[in-house]
Structure 1
Amino acid sequence: MYLHLGDDSLVAVSSILAILDIEIYREASGNSLWKKDIAKSAAMRKEPRSVIVTDEGLYFSVISAQSLKRRIQSPAYGVNLHDFAVQA
Structure 2
Amino acid sequence: MFLHLGRDVIVPKKDIVAILDIRSQSSAITREFLDMALEEDFIVNISEPGKEKTYVITDNKIYLSPISCPTLKKRSL
**Partner of residue 70 from structure 1, selected from 52, 69, 74:** 74
- SS of 1:56's equivalent in the other structure is coil
Residues 19, 54 of structure 2: 8 Å contact kept: yes
> 1:6 matched to which residue of 2?
6
Runs of 4+ in 1 over 2 A off after TM superposition: 25-28, 43-46
- In structure 1, the partner of 2:18 is 18
- The Cα shift of 1:33 comes to 1.7
Structure label with greater radius of gyration: 1
Residue 26 (structure 1) shift: 4.3
The alignment-based identity, stated in percent, is 33
Is 1:57 the counterpart of 2:64? The answer is no
Unaligned runs of 5+ in 2: none
Higher share in strand:
2
- Normalising by structure 2, report the TM-score: 0.72
CA displacement at 1:40 relative to structure 2: 4.5
Task: Name stretches of at least 5 consecutive residues in structure 1 with no aligned partner.
Answer: 74-88
For residues 8 and 26 of structure 1, do their structure 2 counterparts lie closer, same or farther at Cα, with a shift above 3 Å needed? farther
Cα distance, 1:4 vs structure 2: 0.4
When normalised by structure 1's length, the TM-score is 0.64
- For 1:66 and 1:44, locate their aligned partners in 2 and report how far apart those are by CA, in whole Å: 17
Superposed displacement of residue 72, structure 1: 1.1
Number of residue-to-residue matches in the alignment: 69
Partner of 1:33: 35
